[in-house]
Chain A
Amino acid sequence: MKFPAYALDAGRLAALDGYKVLDTAPETGFDDIAALAAHICETPVALVSLVAVDRQWFKGRVGFDGCETDLGSSVCVHALVEPDLLVIPDLTEDPRTRDNPLVVGDPRIRFYAGAPLRTPEGHVIGSLCAIDVLPRPAGLADKQADMLRALARQVMTQMETRRLGMELERRMAQQASDAALLETSRADFRFLFDGIDDGFCVVEMKFDGARPVDYRFVEVNPAFVHQTGLGDAKGRWMREIAPDHEQHWFDIYGKVALTGEPVRFENEARQLGERWYEVHAFRVGDPALGHVGILFNDVSKRKSEERLRREIEVLQETINREISHRLKNSFAMVLAIAGQTLRTVTEQEAVAAFNRRIHALSRAHDLLIEQNWVAAEIEGVVRTVFDALAPRERLDIGGPALKLGARATLSVSLLLHELTANALKHGSLSNDGGRVSLVWRVQDDGGGETGLILDWRESGGPPVRETGRKGFGSRLIKQGILGTGGADIRYESSGFAATFNAPLAQVQQS
């Protein structure tokens, strides 16, 4: 079954779709027209038939069961391309319709007369048709044809009326919903505007040429007063309220009004009681009005806290520097006094040992000063002590990064100083080839407490034996880190070795 290509024309289908009529409930107006058409044309059947993409659907009908058929059973589809009426006196003789299922089978229709349903734009969306089961060789009388055309126009008039009615309803519904939405957003905005703790105002900029010179408060929220200390600002000019208000405020808002680019910034308003504000400013409304919305918060407290904290830090650092300066001068003084006092002592070796210990202590202080007296990295402590006495390449070190507290820094410095001095004197650093290995680790001491283990091991030096000396150095070594007594001292065949351990919590305490 072939039908005209125009049946599937996109413009035609869109025009039909625009009426939103397919599959709607029956309406008396259309059924009445169908009844009139049947009566006038003296046929048992008349249809207001709309030809859609895959079927014809009947908006009005008389004498026909079913509200639609497929396009294969449609005669109306051929009426779409007729300039005027399509009249087929005997459907069994027309090549377009003789194989039509409704012609071949029940209800065996024979006569068809259809008037096109033409939109104001010229598309044909279907036909008003009269159908009989008997052929009618004479077709329609002239009068019948005229009336059928008139009724078809009447169908379109009703279609247009129907569409306008729907459009009107849609617009009214839209307006109602817009109004409701507007009302809701107005209420929400008001609620926000009145309820927020942030200050909010809308200002109107005043320019002298391109230069912003003043602004007037168009709108202020209740928090505005609390945030600025300005009561009764609405309607007044800023220059009048605060003549010395900084020019940067006017410049920033003026730029927002001119460019429409929102800004976020922090700045100080001295005349509002030296307050600092965090501000978000954006253009509102018609750019020609020069209105700027300003959302702001008094952050003076945070600012002054920040300033105070910075001042304290600077002060703390100054104090630390001054104390350490004095401390180091005192060390220098002690050494000078010792040098003068012990000038004639015959045991100059002891004087030198004393000097070296004071130096070790002083260097430990240097490390702490760098860290503001909080903590020093263990590797730095080890390197500093060792480098002051012996060639760096003769020490092998290893262990995890670890901060020592202030007291432990001093203690470990003195301890390592004694170990290094002894190694230089009697141990593996007293010849050219010996070495020292220093390894540290953190481990559980078995009792649920974490400890720092420091392992000193000499190798390649001359044979060593316990000297039995009870000097300050030996005692310092035996006492271990922070005087905890955790020291295992061994004179092994490979050389002197000592393992120290101390609770990590104590070691890291500042």
Chain B
Amino acid sequence: MTYLVETTKAGPTGDPGTEPGQAAEVAGASPAGITLTGIGKSYGGPRDALDVPRLAIPAGSFTVVVGPSGCGKSTGLRVIAGLETPDRGSVLIEGTDVTGLPPGERGVAMVFQDFALYPHMTVERNISFGLRLAAKHDRRGGPRRDEISSRVADVCARLGLSELRGRLPGQLSGGERQRVGLARAIVRHPAVLLLDEPLSALDAQLRQRARAELVRLHRELRNTVVLVTHDQLEALSMGTNLVVMNRGRVVQSGPPADVFRYPADTFVATFLGSPPMNLHAVTPVGDGRILTGPGLAARLPTAAGPVLLGWRPADGLLEPLGPDLAGPAGVPTPGGPAPVALADQAGPARAGEPAVPGEPGIVLHGVVDVVEFTGDGTVVTCVGPGNGIQWAVSLRGIDNVPAVGAPVRVRVPAERIHLFDQDSGVRLGAGPRPGGSGI
């Protein structure tokens, strides 16, 4: 965020009338699924803990709600569950307004982060609790005793809990507890399954397996699943629909690939993806198709104002920069308009400032600062000229990794460049409008 530079007015390509919150709206969503309208919830803080003008979660989708801690995602889930009463607005589940209904009558089930098993009941009784209550409340229409036991047996078999039915929660491992919590939730065949960070209490190995199990379960049950997480990897990998939240608002929603490819603003851009997207504040030169910043030069296919240039670390092509390649700044390039006077931007020009590329794209010069080996690849963090400007490039292999301190050049192809408004951080131009993709 240190890139944010005070400028006068945003570029003309932006559409300032579009509220980020409205990006959440899914055009033509059926009344099935979950619809939040005008939901607000405040805990007395300076801003609302939750402020969602409209959010539609399609029926049958595996929707992942992601955001940093305190962004309101868990509050939103609890509002859907009925554990929290919103200050205003309404919740529709499968077309029915459930805003005033108690949690048990909404047709939703939930798996909690701490699993919330009843410590004094065996696994079997934990799972059957809801069904037994239903039988008690409705002696005629409720489930019969043999139906309850067969449903519990089914779900135990499905989740591999058959051997553990007589145990108490205190005698189970974390993964087993998680499965009991899941079994208790799905045994009632809920139309909506809510998962509140169900994997965060598991260790890394177990989490990978549990993730796959959840996805498989959703494929078999075909109900609407809403999973809340702060883990951006879970967010991208598990869902068919992704909702990104920040500061109580929905910032963007859509298929994970679309959200990742066309982040609606700099928050989404830097929150999803690891390492996060690199952002650079740049100034246009000439007709606006050439942009420069410290240690950076870019050529765009179309003109832009003063913007934030973004690129994902995996999209950069790293090349070692020999001393002979580190040519002087401002070398005229064929097809380019005028030589770029970099001295105007970041102090005196240095050897190592990149030339404006001939093809559309970004060229950055920097010095390797940190090299992180991640197993499959390597993340190289580089420092550009100027005041501690950093950017990261991920390399697929582990060969040809530059040494720390080596001067390097990174090229980013034009189609991988993201543009954001310097003031609002909203995405400009390139790519479909947020939310326009539909589901």
Physical interaction between A and B: no
